[in-house]
Chain A
Amino acid sequence: MNSPLLNVSELSLCSPGGILCEPVSLYLNAGERLAILGKNGTGKTTLLHTLCGLQPVTAGTVSFEGLDLRELSGQQTARLCGMLFQHEAEPMPATVYEVVMLGRLPHARQWHWESRQDHDIVQQSLKLLNLSSLATRDIHTLSGGERQRVAIAAVLAQQPRIFMLDEPSNHLDIAFQIQALNLLCERVSQDNTALIMATHDINLAARFCTHVLLLNGKGGYRFGETESVLDSATLSDAFECRVDMIVTPERRLFFPA
């Protein structure tokens, strides 16, 4: 039996304000997709940042296929985890193409230029997100949704083993929300990788994710398969707001009452 792609055990989540949650344990196998749900400030981003090594693991362990995160170099981690940030500062000028090409950095060798393959991967990622015609545009001249697509294209070009997405649907219109997540989920099953996304959209989580981690903001959490975690009572409790559910022939829909 292989160790799971991602195994988190007894991980502490701390912010400058204090401890956010009881120690978290969860695992994710190849092909699985995890949604992190919870109110504002419950530690969704902190968890994502800790998992991809941007914040130190203070207590507990995070391991990828049995390898401890703390033993991995920055470059090794960046090949495993592709992070999509919630806010990205873009103060310096750069073209769309250059930003997406940065996704190839974890695969670069010192003193080497981008290979033909790198260019192919970047151009394919641009095409998948309908960005080919914007390739030479400066990132500053793009709309919020276009920038978000550029960021998604960059993380696709990174070809990580686990996509870690902080609010991937930010700024996207509903068509692109579905297109982008379909694309990422296809990539996950094609390449036998995994995906973790922190989101506020319960319906996107229910539709695209196999597992859910629900942080209730009172120090507790629930982790399990989407079907078993998501129900109106649990959600109402976690969000301190009544959440109702409608069952359609295709899926369950959640909305604040």
Chain B
Amino acid sequence: MTPVYPPGVKRHMYLITALVLLSVVSLLVAVSTGSVTLSMTELWQAVRLPDGNASSLIVWDIRIPRALAAFLCGGLLALSGVVMQVLLRNPLADPYILGVSGGAAVGALIAITLGAAALWMTQAAFAGAMFSVLLVFGLAARSRHWSSTRLLLTGVVVSAGWGALINILLTTSTANTVQSMLFWLMGDLSQSRPNLWHLLILISGLAILLSQARHLNALSRGDLSAAALGVNVARLKLILYFSAALMTATAVTVAGSVGFVGLVVPHMLRLLGARDHRWLIPGSLFLGGSFLVLADTLARTIVAPQQLPVGVLTALIGVPLFLVILHRGYRQETL
């Protein structure tokens, strides 16, 4: 009797199908709920005939852009979470661990302090994020062997530096600006409008990661093991680092620093059996996207008409989830 191990393609297909369905459902829920709740028929009418009545305006001008922004952001964050966890070979890594969000926050807060318009705020956030990426990379890559530990330490230290700058900006600001700063820092989708660039970055990031998926499998076993299997580790890490950074910076400019999506989503999928990156990567996109869409729907309905920053909701859902996962992981290790 030889136990034949099922390669698991079927199981993975079911998982991905379920996640695609979840994405569709979450988007429908997001578009139909809010101050005016629409039935599916009303929603269909409003989508099909944008004739300028109240519900079609709400759907087209407010809810659809916001839901898409949430999906895009969640997808980007989950994808770069997967990459960061492999790159640093640390299950606690998240998209922000290398200081991307700190840099973006400092950029955005400076723009807010100067009273700049929303457009300039996004530009400043993006510039801050990319500056932080280059800074961390430049500092960590000094020596030829940029080990994961070195990168991680550099990222954490640079993040701490950004944290201090953020606190300076917060404490020296007027009460008016502090609130918008706090919303930005916690992650907020109420002002978000996705554009073609964001979509383009998501699609190209996904394509790059999928093309490297088997190499990611090898890299998660260690740098040397991957190199011995013929992977060009230095090149792969460079590609991964910059695509993750670009995706995170994009997400941060769309919604501020939304926490927990990038950390928790890859772990949830791994626990569901998707450890192979050829499944984990598309799975993360769909699960991350729908997770943030649902969190944002809750954020704007739970204490309506007041809106909560979405980052609060992802943390509220993410913290217990993550603790459960950690506990499970702990039990596995001691088995």
Contact = CB atoms under 8 A, between A and B. Distances in A.
Interface of A: 49, 52-54, 73-79, 81-83, 85, 88-95, 97-99, 102-103, 105-106, 108, 110-111, 113-114, 119, 123, 127, 132-133, 135-136, 138, 140-141, 158
A135 B221 contact: no
B191 to A, nearest CB: 37
A78 B86 contact: no
Interface centre among B214, B228, B231, B278 (most CB of A within 10 A): B228
A44 to B, nearest CB: 15
Contact of B89 (A73, A82, A91, A94): A91
23 contacts: A49-B224, A52-B228, A74-B232, A85-B225, A88-B221, A88-B222, A89-B222, A90-B222, A91-B89, A92-B86, A92-B89, A92-B275, A94-B275, A102-B221, A105-B214, A106-B229, A111-B211, A119-B7, A132-B2, A132-B3, A136-B5, A140-B332, A141-B332
Given A89-B89, A105-B231, 17 more contacts: A54-B227, A76-B230, A85-B224, A88-B222, A91-B91, A91-B220, A92-B275, A94-B217, A94-B275, A110-B211, A113-B278, A114-B7, A132-B3, A132-B5, A138-B332, A141-B332, A158-B229
A88 B225 contact: yes
Contacts of B54: none
Nearest to B90: A91
A49 B217 CA distance: 21
Contacts of A127: 2
A17 to B, nearest CB: 16
Nearest to B215: A105
Nearest to B271: A93
Interface in B225-247: 225, 227-232
B: interface residue count bin = 20 to 34
Nearest to A94: B275
Given A73-B230, A102-B221, A114-B7, A95 B211 contact: no
A75 B230 contact: yes
B36 interface: no
B207 to A, nearest CB: 11
Interface in B108-129: none
Q: When A and B form their complex, which 8 residue pairs have the shortest distance between CB atoms, in order from nearest?
A: A78-B230, A75-B230, A83-B228, A92-B220, A135-B5, A74-B230, A106-B230, A105-B229
B230 A79 contact: yes
A74 B225 contact: no
Contact of B275 (A77, A83, A93, A108): A93
A199 B332 CA distance: 32
A177 B125 CA distance: 58
B85 interface: yes
A77 B229 CA distance: 8
Contact of B333 (A81, A113, A119, A140): A140
Interface in B179-231: 211, 214-215, 217-218, 220-222, 224-225, 227-231
A128 B227 CA distance: 26
A127 B2 CA distance: 8
B335 to A, nearest CB: 5
Contacts of B150: none
Nearest to B267: A93
Contact of B224 (A54, A92, A136): A54
Contacts of B332: 138, 140-141
Contacts of B85: 92
B229 A133 contact: no
Given A52-B228, A74-B227, A75-B230, A105 B221 contact: no
A91 B3 CA distance: 27
Contact of A98 (B3, B4, B217): B217
Contacts of B42: none
B276 interface: yes
Contacts of B230: 73-79, 105-106
Contacts of A136: 5
Nearest to B227: A54
Contacts of B229: 78, 102-103, 105-106, 158
